[in-house]
């Protein structure tokens, strides 16, 4: 056999399992840095080469082998997570899952290890199948046997759904933001009426008269909050979110018709819009989804203040607290979904509040923070590469930041060319440098992806430990409500 050299193999002891009479475990060739699935026993269907030294089949980590391993070992497939507290841990490199596992272990949070949006897949050059498979190999490596989820994040149209369905995803985040009419916030009543009349009422299965009669001037008593929609506020909510609700219904029906007998989780996200979601609008959206018999497990409204990428909450904490209390009152009134915190990474100042008011019904969604922890390792073990990545980020920031909510200023990024190598990692804690690095990941991976992954594979223990500490800091403040 010439695929691997036994002298250079590192075995991941946690991965070893004897299931139904066949032995499975994972190894890494410490020279090539490639990982292999080792199978001893029933090797039917696996693709690889027999090692004459031990008689085992050594299999590359390819989709066909991943698919068969999932078929044989049931906990290697994702499953719906329902209303249990959960945390989405996006991984733009496909290497972070073992670190995520070490953070979530022995907590009540159900982890969503495979989480990627269409936008992220386009920028990282990954497919839904790659995202799910790479998460699965990390789960296998770490010996995780509990439930986990796979989130197809920020789906905007039905064309995006099919590849995630085929890959085996179990959590679908519908983003109808492009159908939200932000102009309705300031439109005069006469324009609002025109917009409401033009809504797709066949999809909404109602009409303006009936909906106005349902909601108008009726006191809605929630937990410590009383809502009453005036005609103007109701018209504004209809005009602003009517098409988005119709779009969500279409996406939901497409899922039902294409996913077969599988069950799944649905999240509704309106966080990537221009204006905050008022508590009245939150109630209206939830009420309409209920009326249309759409089953969903979490919702992400757009909160007051700024939930920017990679940094803490920006805004008046007293205002946020007051609004959060109202939003969670709506959530608890319906009782069938969790509050989802999008762009939730590094929002340390609000986690305890979210835990207190959501009472455990919470989903934390993170993405690029795991990539930033990877760069923290790079800064320490390959400072030259880190400097190149940051310079590329500065060059690309104006273009790559266009689709993200960030406010970093290039002129505020510290001069780093002559910075002492021991202090480079401190730039990951600097507001402007951190955001520049966060949103330019696609450009960095396109140019330096192989070098980044090579450095991390050579320093896995450091990367996994950094992720463990970083995510523990996220999850610990949220435990109070669980």
| Active site residue ranges | 153, 267
Q: Are 133 and 63 in contact (CB under 8 A)?
A: yes
Q: Distance between CA atoms of 170 and 79, rounded to whole angstroms?
A: 6
Residue 134 has which token pair? 């790479």
Q: Are 266 and 169 in contact (CB under 8 A)?
A: no
Q: Distance between CA atoms of 128 and 121, rounded to whole angstroms?
A: 7
CA-nearest of 342, 455, 459, 323 to 404 is: 342
3-state SS assignment for residue 144: coil
Q: Distance between CA atoms of 86 and 79, rounded to whole angstroms?
A: 13
Q: Distance between CA atoms of 284 and 280, rounded to whole angstroms?
A: 6
Neighbouring C-beta atoms of residue 27, cutoff 10 Å = 21
Residue 92 has which token pair? 């733009």
E-assigned strand segments in 90-142: 110-117
- Beta-sheet strand order (sheet of 57-60): 9-19, 22-29, 35-40, 57-60, 49-50
What distances in angstroms separate CA 56 from CA 10, 32, 36, one per listed residue? Answer: 15, 20, 11
Q: At what angle do helices 431-439 and 383-400 cross, to 10 degrees?
A: 80
Q: Distance between CA atoms of 267 and 424, rounded to whole angstroms?
A: 38
What distances in angstroms separate CA 226 from CA 43, 45, 233, 326, 338, one per listed residue? Answer: 63, 61, 15, 9, 21
The Cβ-side half-sphere exposure at 259, using a 13 Å CA radius, reads 22
Q: Are 65 and 52 in contact (CB under 8 A)?
A: no
Q: Distance between CA atoms of 27 and 15, rounded to whole angstroms?
A: 9
Contacting residues for 40 by C-beta, under 8 A, at least 6 apart? 22, 23, 24, 54, 55, 56, 57
Neighbouring C-beta atoms of residue 189, cutoff 10 Å = 11
CA-nearest of 386, 456, 392 to 134 is: 456
Pairing type for strands 171-174 and 220-221 reads unpaired
């Amino acid at each position: 056999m010439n695929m691997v050299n036994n002298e250079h193999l590192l075995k991941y002891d946690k991965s070893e399992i004897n299931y139904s009479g066949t032995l499975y475990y994972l190894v890494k060739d410490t020279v090539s840095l490639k990982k292999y699935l080792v199978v001893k026993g029933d090797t039917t269907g696996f693709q690889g080469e027999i090692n004459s030294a031990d008689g085992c089949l050594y299999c590359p980590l390819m989709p066909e082998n991943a698919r068969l391993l999932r078929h044989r070992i049931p906990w290697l497939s994702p499953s719906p997570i329902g209303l249990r507290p959960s945390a989405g841990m996006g991984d733009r490199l496909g290497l972070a899952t073992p670190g995520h596992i070490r953070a979530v272990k022995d907590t009540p949070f159900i982890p969503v290890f495979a989480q990627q949006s269409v936008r992220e897949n386009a920028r990282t050059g990954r497919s839904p199948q790659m995202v799910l498979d790479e998460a699965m190999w990390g789960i296998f490596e770490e010996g995780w046997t509990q439930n986990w989820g796979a989130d197809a994040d920020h789906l905007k149209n039905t064309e995006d759904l099919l590849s995630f369905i085929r890959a085996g995803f179990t959590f679908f985040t519908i983003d109808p933001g492009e159908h939200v009419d932000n102009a309705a916030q300031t439109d005069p009543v006469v324009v609002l009426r025109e917009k409401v009349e033009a809504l797709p009422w066949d999809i909404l299965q109602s009409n303006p008269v009936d909906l106005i009669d349902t909601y108008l001037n009726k006191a809605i008593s929630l937990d410590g909050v009383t809502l009453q929609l005036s005609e103007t506020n109701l018209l504004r909510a209809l005009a602003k979110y009517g098409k988005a609700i119709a779009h969500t219904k279409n996406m939901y029906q497409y899922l039902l018709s294409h996913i077969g007998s599988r069950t799944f989780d649905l999240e509704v996200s309106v966080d990537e819009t221009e204006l905050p979601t008022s508590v009245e609008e939150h109630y209206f959206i939830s009420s309409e989804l209920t009326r249309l018999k759409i089953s969903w497990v979490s919702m992400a409204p757009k909160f007051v203040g700024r939930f920017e990428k990679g940094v803490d909450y920006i805004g008046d904490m007293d205002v946020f607290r007051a609004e959060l209390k109202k939003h969670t009152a709506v959530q608890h009134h319906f009782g069938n979904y969790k509050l989802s915190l999008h762009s939730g990474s590094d929002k340390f100042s609000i986690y305890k509040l979210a835990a207190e008011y959501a009472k455990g019904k919470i989903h934390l969604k993170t993405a690029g923070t795991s990539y930033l922890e990877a760069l923290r390792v790079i800064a320490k073990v390959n400072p030259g590469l880190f400097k190149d990545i940051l310079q590329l980020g500065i060059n690309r920031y104006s273009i790559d930041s266009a689709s993200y909510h960030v406010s970093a200023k290039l002129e505020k990024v510290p001069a780093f060319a002559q910075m002492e190598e021991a202090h480079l990692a401190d730039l990951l804690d600097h507001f402007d440098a951190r955001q520049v690095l966060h949103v330019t990941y696609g450009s960095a991976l396109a140019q330096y992806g192989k070098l980044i992954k090579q450095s991390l594979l050579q320093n896995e223990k450091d990367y996994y430990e950094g992720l463990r500490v970083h995510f523990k800091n996220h999850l610990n403040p949220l435990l109070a409500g669980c």
